[in-house]
Chains A and B, each alone.
Chain A
Amino acid sequence: MHTSVALLLELGLILTALSALGALARRFALTPVPLYLLAGLALGEGGIAPVPAADEFVEIGAAIGVVLLLLTLGLEFSLGEFAASARRHVRSAVVDLVLNATPGAVVGWLVGLSPLGVLALAGATWVSSSGIIARLLTDLGRLGNRETPAVLSVLVLEDFAMAAYLPLLTVLAAGGSWWQAGLGVLLAVGAVAVAFVASRRWGHQIGRLLSHPEPEQLMLRVLGTTLVVAGLAELVGASAAVGAFLVGLTLTGVVADRARAVLAPLRDLFAATFFLAIGFAVDVRALLPLLPAAIALAAVTAGTKVLTGAYAASLDGVGRWGRLRAGTALIPRGEFSIVILGLAAVADPTLGALVTAYVLVLAITGPVLARLVRAPLPARSGPNVRVDRR
């Protein structure tokens, strides 16, 4: 077997650099996503250090990264939690969609994006990053707070809405017409319903089929099945990402827990590759002129997220400071804005640069803003544990 020295060296150096960046991000309690994007920008088109040999791996790895991100999202999902969130917070989800997608759509239209680009940018400003926010709430010790269920409910409903939004975007990006896109959405929503029924009625048998005491076997079976389903979903024009999400939904209980554990390292590797690939594809020279627009959009949509969170928390009868905490917690955008970009940006360099800059701004400032909001209460005496700020 021929081994490419250049590939090994470049890939090794990239991964080492990513690890250093990840450690740096954790040090300041930030998410590594924006740093991975920056690394991609530095290495890719118009960057300072091109890596021709690693290009192909990054491209393939990115496709697997999206599939794994959506698979683990599906694994996190439970029908009971979705139903409970929907019962209480459908109105919050509608407010969320209207308030946060609109600024993206307007700005997209103003900078002259295609209708597809406008739709993608609206999606990118709409979805908060459940990954960043769940971690943030844990780090800040806010899981016990009364506003937290409202925040998490909004995130669950957003994630679920992705199952309809992603196929819409995929079909349109592939040059399909609006009616084909509508069909794609119906197909995906139908498939999600089937997956839910299947998981309820036969989740056990399906789980047993894929389950194996050996972690290696479990990983290969779940990964293999997911890639096949993702491929088939792409074939019928739904979207590989939605296919992977479906597999995640179908698996429940112990198998889902174990699958999450064995897939986590793989997901981290390929998701990092995916963020890198997005950075590769964006030309820094195209990004800089769009930075003011991205910052303005970030400022506006940070505000609209605060309103969304405050509204959701008020439905749960939370007080003033709690409402503000809920609002600021929802600000960070991250992996899903980038997934949306990954699906749509093939033909549109402006969109790529705009969304990348936008996520860079909000993934960094969002957690900082959430941290700053605290009620002016004097510290109480008595035993307390220092909140972990790693």
Chain B
Amino acid sequence: MNEVLLPGVGLRYEFDTAEGNRIGIVARRDGRFEVVDYDRRDPDRSRLLLRLTEEEADAVAEILGAPRIAERFADLTREVPGLSAGQVEVAADSRYVDRPLGETRARTRTGASIVAIVRGEAVIASPSPVEVLRAKDVLVVIGTPDGIAGVDRIIHAP
């Protein structure tokens, strides 16, 4: 995966597929995305395939990636009655953005555990209380349904 900076616009990711196509994904600063591929005869020139709004890109990401993580935890929680797994997104205006995880006191207050933080492509497994939360992090929470709802309320409290 190749990463190219587009100053003032955003970032472009490029990679070759197993079949030999070159795919480019432009992640714009305003949250929109463009998916392009490259002409084999003129590798400098891209061909626009898709333009995605932020919501559409989220939907695509969810279809392609995010459920897999939740799925794995779902398998795990099926073993224990009453236990479930959920995801809580840290909104950009959440008061816990750039604050350590421990400050939420989520487990003390709800009994649910935050077992992983999904940040972009990275997954931080069993995060420690000093782990600093960022905007758009997705917290993977294990606990009772009430506990998960409680974590959601804490993170989204104004």
Contacts and interface: CB of A to CB of B under 8 A. Distances in A.
A145 B46 contact: yes
B6 A152 contact: yes
Interface residues of A, number: 41
Given A254-B93, A385-B49, A377 B9 contact: no
A221 interface: no
Contact of B44 (A76, A81, A319, A388): A319
A153 B4 CA distance: 12
B49 A254 contact: no
A368 interface: no
A141 B4 contact: no
A213 B42 contact: no
A149 B50 contact: no
Contact of B46 (A76, A81, A144, A321): A144
B117 to A, nearest CB: 18
Interface string B16-42: 000000001010110000101011011
Interface string A39-66: 0000000000000000000000000000
Contacts, number: 99
B6 A148 contact: yes
B8 A134 contact: yes
A144 B24 contact: yes
Nearest to A153: B7
A134 B92 contact: no
B8 A76 contact: yes
Q: Which of A81, A142, A318 has the most CB of B within 10 A?
A: A81
B142 to A, nearest CB: 29
B48 interface: yes
B8 A81 contact: yes
B5 A384 contact: no
Contacts of A145: 44-46
Interface of B: 4-9, 12, 24, 26, 28-29, 34, 36, 38-39, 41-51, 92-93, 97-98, 135, 158
20 contacts: A81-B8, A134-B8, A137-B9, A144-B12, A148-B6, A149-B4, A149-B5, A149-B6, A149-B12, A152-B8, A155-B7, A156-B7, A213-B158, A257-B29, A319-B44, A325-B44, A375-B45, A385-B48, A385-B50, A388-B51
Given A156-B7, A257-B29, A380-B47, 6 more contacts: A81-B8, A137-B9, A143-B36, A149-B5, A153-B7, A325-B44
